[in-house]
Structures are given as C-alpha cells and as structure tokens.
Amino acid sequence: MTFEKLVVGLAGMPGAGKSVVVNVARAGGYGVVVMGDEVREEAKRRGLEPTPENLGRIMLELRRLEGEAVIAKRCVPKILAARENKVIVDGIRSLAEVEEFRQNFQKFTLVAVHAPPETRFRRLFHRQRSDDPKSWDVFHERDMRELSVGLGNAIALADYMIVNEEGLEAAKRKAAEILRRIEAEWMK
Amino acid sequence: MTFEKLVVGLAGMPGAGKSVVVNVARAGGYGVVVMGDEVREEAKRRGLEPTPENLGRIMLELRRLEGEAVIAKRCVPKILAARENKVIVDGIRSLAEVEEFRQNFQKFTLVAVHAPPETRFRRLFHRQRSDDPKSWDVFHERDMRELSVGLGNAIALADYMIVNEEGLEAAKRKAAEILRRIEAEWMK
C-alpha cells in the first residue's frame, strides 16, 4: 500500500544548498521533515552533545542495528502526520532510503543539489554552525563520511539536479521551477 | 612532479550524455582519451567479445589486481602522448581515478554530466549500441555496477555539473560554456 502525499526527497553534499530548496518548498506550502533531526533526537535521548562526531557515530550505529533505511523508516510516520499534502524530506543519504520512500509513497521524487567542493567549503566555513568545518581536512573527512553511506549514489540517480553556483536568487528560482515541474508531473 | 597539460575528467552515468561533451571538446581542440578503451583493448588482447558482462568483469579484475586507479594510471601516458595541450578524459568512475589524475596533472578539472534515470534509459534504449540495455532491469543492473566502483562519489564531488535534460543544443551550449570557464580559470 502506498500513500497519496506528494513527497520530495532532497539529497546533497554538505554546503550544497539543501536549505535554500527547503525554504523555497516551505514558502510554497510544503511540510518539512528533516532526516538529521532523527539522529539529533536520538543523541538527546542518550544525553549526548550533537557534535558531528557523535551524530556520525549514532547514525552509523543505528544503520548497523536497524538497517540502512532506518532513518527513512522513522520519517515515514512523520511525513504521514504532516498537515500538508506536499512534504519535502531533507537529507537523503542513500539509495536504501530512496527505496524506502518509493515503497511508501507513489508520488516520490528525488531531487539533488550540487555545488563544487570549493564553493561548499567556502559556504560552510563562513556559516560556522556548530557542526561546520574549521579546515579543509575536516570538511573533506565529512564529505567522505557522507559518501561512505551512499550519498553519491543517491545524487547520481536523482530525478532532478539543481546546480547551485550562481548565487542565492538563481538557486531559489531553480528550486521553485523544479517544484512546479514535479507538481505538474504528478498532476497529469 | 606534475605535467602542464590542461586535463578535463568527465564522469556520468550511462546515457547521461558524456559523448555530447566529448564532441564539443574535440571540436574545441581537445585531445580525447577514452578510459573504456583500456578495458576494450584488454578484452581484445584476451580474445574476448566486448559484451558489457565481459568488460565489467575485466574492469573489476584489473582493479582487484592493480588497484582502484589502474585504468587512470594506464591513461596517463596516453594523455601525455596527445598532440593537444588540452585533453578530455572520458569515463571517470571513481575518486581513486580522480586522485591519480590530480597527482599527475596540476590543471585537472572534474566535470560531471547528469540526466534523470528515466531520460537515460530512454536514450540508451533508442541508441542500441552493442552494449546498450534492452530492458529497465538490465539498465538498472548496469547503473548499480557503475555505482559499485564509486562513480556516484566522483559525480557528487565534481567541480562542474552539466545537467543534460533540455535537448542536444542546450547540452552543447552548456558544455562549451563550462570548457570556456575551465580554460579561463587555469589561465588566471
């Protein structure tokens, strides 16, 4: 059995600009489910600080114990509980997760956001959220950790690719256009 | 020691449109080195037909025996032997290969081409080169084989991403523009 909500899965390397797409979607009436929140909530339950190391470790442990699609499985009820009938799921990391969403939602579309590594590093370096990298080595290590769970495969097989390298306004326009195309596609 | 040639590495899933980029580059004065030729030559040396199965098996075997970057290593002398001082290398499949080229060529840039799976399948199905898929299952299997050696990681970390979904002329224009930007970048 599959559910009728329109679900957009979003994949991208750190700093590629996923949050731009999420904000455009939210403004367009989408509910937002953040896959990373599952891991952050798990860290909180265990009384651990949400450092990149702790979050990375918890993610790998959950996957080992409950399978590669564990985070996606935990997000399905959240998507169903959303008031909105369009939901964007931020932070897809593997084809196993994509598969899980496709099994649950007939109207599932995978969107990837891309920016060159140097651009992503510059953005994250200037953003400096608690888990943002202070050096190229730390940045590269995080990239490799993300790829090790299969993020590159999800990006390579995306239904839509947003290239985010021409500034915020261009990215917003592309995101809005792609969401329109996805909605039109499912309306046919 | 690194060499002074400008080298563009090209990565993309089957049917994404790598050949469009190669043709634009060739017309723009680039030498062309096709990584798959290494595997086809190896098949010939062994007296085997160049079926996707044989080529896939040989590629995996070479990688097991001589390391993940074996094909890239074999391409370095070909790049150096090219008359042109700009060379495009078609068919990068892993970060190990990217690393090998970066170690040998200071002016190395990684370009990826993306198209949605459904579009790629339709293109390959209509192309029907000897190794093109006759069904979605065969197509999907080939995608998975390409991803299993790390192609998704190379795509995710590309310096430039060409989205090829608006027809041939648009793809050619984008390819030409990106090659111009790469050349301008290295001229600075």
- pLDDT computed for residue A177 by the predictor: 97
Residues of A in contact with B161 (CB under 8 A): 114, 161, 163
pLDDT of B150 > 90? The answer is yes
pLDDT in tens, B163-172: 999 899 999 9
* DSSP letters spanning chain B: --EEEEEEEEEE-TTSSHHHHHHHHHHTT-EEEEHHHHHHHHHHHTT----HHHHHHHHHHHHHHH-TTHHHHHHHHHHHH-SSSEEEEE----HHHHHHHHHHEEEEEEEEEE--HHHHHHHHHHH--TT--SSHHHHHHHHHHHHHTTHHHHHHT-SEEEE--S-HHHHHHHHHHHHHHHHHHHH-
What's the pLDDT score for residue A24?
98
Q: What number of other Cβ atoms are within 10 A of residue A90's Cβ?
A: 21
Rounded CA separation A10/A92 (Å): 6
Give the whole-angstrom CA distance, residue A44 versus residue A61: 15
pLDDT at B2: 64
Nearest to A62 by CA among A77, A79, A42, A44: A42
Average pLDDT, 10 consecutive residues per value, chain A (188 residues) = 86 97 98 95 94 86 94 96 96 97 96 97 83 86 92 98 94 97 89
For B97-131, how does the pLDDT look when each residue is reduced to its tens digit (9 = 90+)?
Answer: 999 999 999 999 999 999 999 999 999 988 777 66
- Compute the nearest-CA separation of A146 from chain B (Å): 10
CA distance B55 to A180: 41
Do residues A123 and A12 lie in contact, with contact meaning Cβ atoms separated by under 8 Å? no
Mean of the pLDDT values across residues B89-96? 97
Res. B188: pLDDT tops 90: no
Q: Please tell me the pTM assigned to this model.
A: 0.93
Out of B13, B153, B163, the one facing A147 most closely (by C-beta) is: B153
Those residues with Cβ within 8 angstroms of residue B14's Cβ, 6 or more apart along the chain or in another chain: B120, B124, B139, B142, B143, B146
Residues whose CB falls within 8 Å of the CB of residue A87, separated by 6 or more in sequence, listed in order: A5, A6, A7, A8, A30, A31, A32, A33, A79
Of B116, B151, B161, the CB nearest to A163: B161
Instruction: Give the end-to-end CA distance of chain B in Å, rounded to a whole number.
Output: 21
pLDDT, one tens digit per residue, over B22-45 is 999 999 999 999 999 999 999 999
Q: How far is CA B44 from CA B33, B47, B48, B58, B61, in A?
A: 18, 5, 6, 11, 15
Contact between B156 and A158 using a beta-carbon 8 Å cutoff:
no
> Residue A4: what pLDDT?
87
Cβ contact, residue pair A153, B157, below 8 Å? no
Which amino acid makes up residue A103? Q
**Average pLDDT, stretch B168-187?**
95
Q: What's the CA gap between A6 and A86, in Å, rounded? A: 5
pLDDT at B132: 73
Pair A4, A85: CB distance under 8 Å? yes
Number of alpha carbons in the 13 Å side-chain half-sphere of residue B163: 20
Interface test with A, best of B98, B102, B157 (most A CBs within 10 A): B157
pLDDT in tens, B129-139: 766 778 999 99
Query: Counting beta carbons within 10 angstroms of the beta carbon of residue A46, is it exposed (0 to 12), middle (13 to 18) or buried (19 or more)?
Result: exposed
From chain A, pick out residues whose CB is under 8 angstroms from the CB of B94.
Answer: none
